[in-house]
A and B are shown apart, each in its own frame.
Chain A
Amino acid sequence: MSERIGVYVCHCGTNIAGVVDVADVSKWAGEKLADNGVVISRDYKFMCSSLGQELIQKDIKEQNLTRVVVAACSPHLHERTFRNACKGAGLNPYLCELVSIREQDSWVHTDKAAATAKAKAIISGGVARVIHHEALEPLRVPIHPDTLVVGGGIAGIQAALEIADAGFRVYLVEREPSIGGHMAQFDKTFPTLDCSACILTPKMVDVGNHPNITLLTWSEVQKVDGYVGNFAVTIKKKPRYIKTEDCTGCGICWEKCPKKVVDNVFEAGMGNRKAVYVPFPQAVPKYPVIDDVNCTYYLKGTCKACEKFCPTNAIDFNQKAEEITVQVGNIILATGYDLFDARRIPQYGYGKLANVFTNLEFERICNAAGPTGGNIVLRDGKTAPKTVGIVHCVGSRDKNYNAYCSAICCMQSLKFAHLVRERTGAEVYNFYIDIRTPSKGYEEFYQRLLEEGTRFVRGKVAEVTNVARVPEEEGKLIIQVEDTLIGKQRRIPVDMVILSSGMQARHDSKDVAKLFGISCSADNWFIERHPKLDPVATMTEGIYIAGCVQGPKDIPASVVQGAAAAARILGKIQQKEIALEPVRATINQDQCSGCRICNNLCPFSAILFHEDTMVSEVNPALCQGCGTCVAACPAGAISGTGFSNEQILSQIDGLLLLNISHAAVPVE
């Protein structure tokens, strides 16, 4: 045994020391593991502190340690810390092993003897393992300077502009005909009440005109190959049936188009569009799209009105979907959210009771460019409501639907209340569970609403019905609620009900996650690398997330994330290359028999088979280090750094050095 190993047992204050007898453990390791090469074993209050790290570094230098085992918290917390400490003392960082005696021992066990014995076992496992560690160097791969942004909502727009302004190419992919996302559908934005379009459109135009941005609307990502630094992304451009190079966006085609279609996307079903259309006047790009599902020509084979009237002959009924592949170094996913479908709560009557509206419908009603020209009226399109009820937390904070808080509904509802009173003077009731106004200027807005005389009823709405019990309820919608402040059941008749539906992950978010090789939470929001410290990166190098795709948030927060993701990527682009974890598989060419068992096991197609030499080989840059091929190779020809057979098998031996049933009686 030539290795000289140092073992460092952390108290983590009382987090570990409170349950594990750290002094005993460290003493035990020093004595009982001496044969395994342990030359020094210490315990210390906080190993991760600068003093703790210096302690290790001092030993590395003075004791000529060749391996270090730190017994502290989870490697996911401090592996880097201690590797860097070793590096600082001139020891290859990968010769350090951090074993967890906190998350997996002191925090989860109460029997002190057992926990102490387990700590010993865990450390002996770490010692046995670290002997077989090899000095590794990170793998360096170049970063392609171009970036792909998926999703043209405010988060995606912000990210694209940040990167493009910094002078690098961005491909912005949007599956709708225009960028803008949900924000483009809104009327006013809280708390300042400035017009959504007024602040968004300039940014949209910037994107449209930006020399560094390649805008790909009416397009979807089909396939993602490669790895951080150089992804090859295949994008499908759906046929617009418009020759964009000829189209001026004059609008004659949609004026002349005879076919009216209910607009379920932008107008949320409140208004119509034509079969050839732009979603909204300020759409970017300005080119329309022919909706080949509803277009008379595609249904009946005749019409072609648009083609007849188009001044520039920009119509092309034979246009086919087109696939392009772009090379990018990094990817930002900003694919946004879906609205909770209020129909799922039948007792609220949406879809059955005409004057129950969703928040999105109401945004369109308020919007001057919307179906009612901005007049707040009932479904009949003329009657102004005298009383309006706004129901908060629809589908949110409700274990039957979504347990989480959608974060924006309170402020949105307050905004609605304000707009209703401002424009109709109607009486407004807010039905809330709690009012949450945490951000800058939000609470002030709430106070203003209170002063405006909006009524607030604290209680979860039980039912919205049109079944009257008393004459004054006739012809009204009655909101049944328990007012928890006065502890009474109340029935409040109103003319209009607005349901503040919460946000939920995109219906296809799981597929998108698979496509880009990242993971979803239980609620299907994309999972960030760290909830606090790294909210825009993902577990997959080179893939970032921004906006509501990561979880419910309002516009400012989405903009922040878009900018943050952009900043992260700009940093990478500046470095020109990235250092990857050297945990990789390699195939011993002499031992490989070319049996081809491994060939289809790699989801990253990192394994290629040489027909000429009849052996397989791993592309280290594509390899993600999962080790599946290592485990599968029947010839034992594939080895995996960082998690080699020797390392794991020795760790098993080490872990089994102590039998737990001895825990009650200290070993020897």
Chain B
Amino acid sequence: MQRITIDPITRLEGHGKIEIFLNEQGNVTNTYFQIPELRGFERFCVGRPVEEMPLLTNRICGVCPEAHHMAAAKATDAVYHVEVPRTGKMLRELLYSAFYCTDHTTHFYALGGPDFIMGPDAPVAERNILGVIHKVGLEIGGKVIQMRKYGHTVVEIIGGRKVHPCTSIPGGLTKGITEEQRKEIETMGRWAIEFAQFSLQVFNDIVLSNKTYLDLIVGDIYTHKTYYMGMVDENNKVNFYDGKVRVVGPDGKEYVKYEPKDYAAHIAEHVEPWTYLKFPYLKNVGWKGFTDGPDSGVYMATPLSRLNAADGMATPLAQAEYEKFYSTLGGKPVHQRLAIHWARLIELLYAAERWVELATDPEIRSMASTEMGKLPDSFNSTTDMTITHNPVGTDTAIEVRVCSNHHLLVPLLSTFIGNPLQMCASTTMRTITFN
């Protein structure tokens, strides 16, 4: 028996190790994806004031702190039973959309991109963002940097900081934005739309037009027929900030659609003794082990799954790309994991369009900044407002509502690396089907 160890897994957020066992013929007999880390957010969030959850859970993942910040903030709104004013909701979603753009850019160009752009066999030293920049040239590299910069600028304007935003509090935000800031945000948003379209063009030119890659994508080596989860608005269109959780089966038909707060009725986490990671699955389907198919509760939560789980995109340009995506890949649902990268770019485009929609909505500045996110004065029961039950429950609940660009594993797996990007998720999936 031969063993291949990949340690650590790279170009994704967090820690992971893969043990691959090969038989005499050199075929894989089994593979284990292990998560070596546990920090204990579930424990130490207990006893902390509720308003700190958006700040503490930020630190689950520094690549997508915005997801955890939003999630926790929405949980605290719920704890206080307050409805966030529309301006507050829009500001949060605006921040979040801009973050999507910067984050998807990071993933596509810096984390996932090298595989495509540099080619699967490129030397380690070059298979990274810098290699990518060398290859695509400073001009394009500059665009990538610009996109990340713009996204983080908006996050900073609304969230107070580029990484680990601090302005979302129970009931809303600590501050609003000025007209100058709104203008700046709008301008950057319009540029973001162009960048998203440009990126889709890059994907088209480098990947889709390359037979090897295309075969890789449409071929069934990276194919798993699982359930797909995503958040959708009232028209079953993809939404990042608010809505219901929709799950479709391997057959693409809706399996369930539920209120985020009911997450516990639908999601459970399976425990294995050989990793700190817990394995989430659809409770009502049940845990059948590391296998796919309609009888296995294993589900996917990624840009691809969100597209599969939705009936379309809420913005015109993204909707067009959505239709092209499925026509090219032969209809819904798409089971090929590598299509995630394409799906991500479609989400990038949607996020950029949404960014501009929100930035140009007259209500985005309808409230004075001091009025933002304050609870009614009548509300004054404060002492009991510390997290006294398992915070991951809370965190999960609202994480599900947010349904971030990173799949539902985020909170559920906060016990391991805080934030598995879909890359490591797909790695997870891959290990499953080696079984």
Direct contact of A and B (CB under 8 A): no
Interface residues, chain B, CB within 8 Å of chain A? none
